[in-house]
Amino acid sequence: MLLPPPLNPPPRPLMGPGPSDIHPRVLRAMAASTVGHLDPYYLELMTGLQQMLRELFCTKNELTFAVSGTGSAGMEAAVVNLVEPGDPVVVCINGVFGQRMADVAGRAGAKVTIAERPWGDVFSPDDLAPVLKSARPKVVGIVMAETSTGAWQPIEEVSKRVHDAGAMLIVDTVTALGGIPVEVDAWNIDACYSGSQKCLSCPPGLAPITFSRRALDHIRARTTKVQSWYLDASMLASYWGTDRVYHHTAPINMTYALHEAVRIVLEEGLPNVFARHALNHRALKAGLAALGIRYAAREGRQLPMLNAVLAPEGVNEAKVRSDLLSRFGIEIGGGLGVFKGKAWRIGLMGYGSRSSNVLLFLAALEQLLAEQAHSFSPGSSIAAANAIYRK
């Protein structure tokens, strides 16, 4: 056969919904020489990674590790371990990833009841009251940072209500973790998963996850086997725990990458990381406002790392995205679901959340909007963003 051309990926500022810009140290770590999955060095590295993941999730949960798959595998791991066939489960849907969780739960044999809010909005504890009463769920699933809408779901009060109703809580923090506070213990979350490729600035392929003591007790008391051998938390606990019993061959080099990525986050310090995400979000938002561009998510509930905005009337949103990519090398995301063809999703995640990305993006966007005859005052978005940085 004629072989395809050698690998030669173009450099890209990744400002979409993920993967995000990868930190150069992480790329370098990933290329370190591979050791075996039972090598004493690797076992020690796993221990260090687990300690750092606990710090990141703000938890003391023993069962804290990385699922050998992307964030969606983390979602599936949380669901299939906590749910047995026939269990009543409530899933909160206000975007694509809630829909996905409902699908995953249904496939796990759950009796799924859906709680819905409009896309771009979030759930109040009171929104859940009726469904908690009628469905009497064993498990409730909710997405903290809905990547399809940019909405920031507060968790603490919802968790109280869910636990008052006797249910366990699964929280999707794929886009949240490392960008906004995620307090697993303080908020009493039973299963919380994320992805390597968002605010951790690591390539996609691993899903950090943590299970509460309560969740683990429940898993150990199951009367049916977990439907997925690959994602069976009890077996994974034996490998990630002190026994180190072989389960599957761990993705060694991806683990190197995640170890480095989480280390970088903790070196900066979580409060600094969150402040940086907030600052760059405010600068981007000021710049977009100067162009007359509004956010998809409700005011006060907008995620700093995922800016879902409505493309201005009369602008060809797909052309803007493809021009950003082909002419400036910048990737942003289009809308999903009800926002398909209507929204842009601009990521400022982890290493990608920096002033140079904000300014480059605004400068490029101004150019493309001007070409499409969108009306704004030239230079206004850069000035507005810089005004935030100068404060």
Write out the binding residues for a second copy, residues 121-150 only, by CB under 8 A. none
Q: Taking CB under 8 A as the rule, does residue 301 contact a second copy? A: no
Instruction: Show the tokens assigned to 289.
Output: 């406002």
**Closer residue to a second copy (CB): 60 or 214:** 60
Q: Taking CB under 8 A as the rule, does residue 114 contact a second copy? A: no
Q: Taking CB under 8 A as the rule, does residue 267 contact a second copy? A: yes
Instruction: Show the tokens assigned to 132.
Output: 């908690």
DSSP-derived 3-state class of residue 321? helix
DSSP-derived 3-state class of residue 188? coil
Residues 33-72 that bind a second copy (CB under 8 A): 33-37, 39-42, 45, 47-49, 51-52, 55, 68-72
Q: How far is the CB of 322 from a second copy (least distance, A)?
A: 9
Q: Taking CB under 8 A as the rule, does residue 290 contact a second copy? A: no
Pick the binder of a second copy from 43, 87, 88, 103 (CB under 8 A): 103
**Closer residue to a second copy (CB): 228 or 372:** 228
- For 3, residues 6+ apart whose C-beta sits below 8 A from its C-beta are none
Please answer whether residues 173 and 183 qualify as being in contact, where contact means their C-beta atoms are separated by less than 8 angstroms.
no
Count of C-beta atoms within a 10 Å radius of residue 248:
12
DSSP 239-279: HHSSS----S---HHHHHHHHHHHHHHHHH-HHHHHHHHHH
**Closer residue to a second copy (CB): 241 or 251:** 251
Stretch that binds a second copy, among 31-39, 126-134, 185-193, 309-317 (CB under 8 A): 31-39
Nearest C-alpha neighbor of 231 from the set 72, 101, 110, 55: 72
Q: Taking CB under 8 A as the rule, does residue 173 contact a second copy? A: no
Q: By CB neighbour count within 10 A (0-12 exposed, 13-18 middle, 19+ buried), where does 85 fall? A: exposed
Q: Provide the residue type at 170 as one letter.
A: I
Q: How far is the CB of 34 from a second copy (least distance, A)?
A: 5
Count of positions on this chain that bind a second copy (CB under 8 A): 82
**Closer residue to a second copy (CB): 69 or 287:** 69
Instruction: Show the tokens assigned to 355.
Output: 């002033």
The strand order across the sheet containing 333-334 reads 306-310, 343-347, 333-334
Q: Taking CB under 8 A as the rule, does residue 10 contact a second copy? A: yes
**Closer residue to a second copy (CB): 137 or 195:** 195
Residues 177-206 that bind a second copy (CB under 8 A): 195, 197, 203-205
**Closer residue to a second copy (CB): 41 or 271:** 41
Q: Taking CB under 8 A as the rule, does residue 352 contact a second copy? A: no
- For 5, residues 6+ apart whose C-beta sits below 8 A from its C-beta are none
**Closer residue to a second copy (CB): 54 or 160:** 54
Pick the binder of a second copy from 62, 88, 107, 363 (CB under 8 A): 107
Nearest C-alpha neighbor of 344 from the set 113, 149, 134: 149
Whether residue 5 has a cis bond before it, omega within 30° of 0: no
Q: Which residues pair with 207 in a beta bridge?
A: 67
Q: Taking CB under 8 A as the rule, does residue 160 contact a second copy? A: no
Residues 201-260 that bind a second copy (CB under 8 A): 203-205, 225-230, 246-254, 256-257, 259-260
**Closer residue to a second copy (CB): 192 or 202:** 202
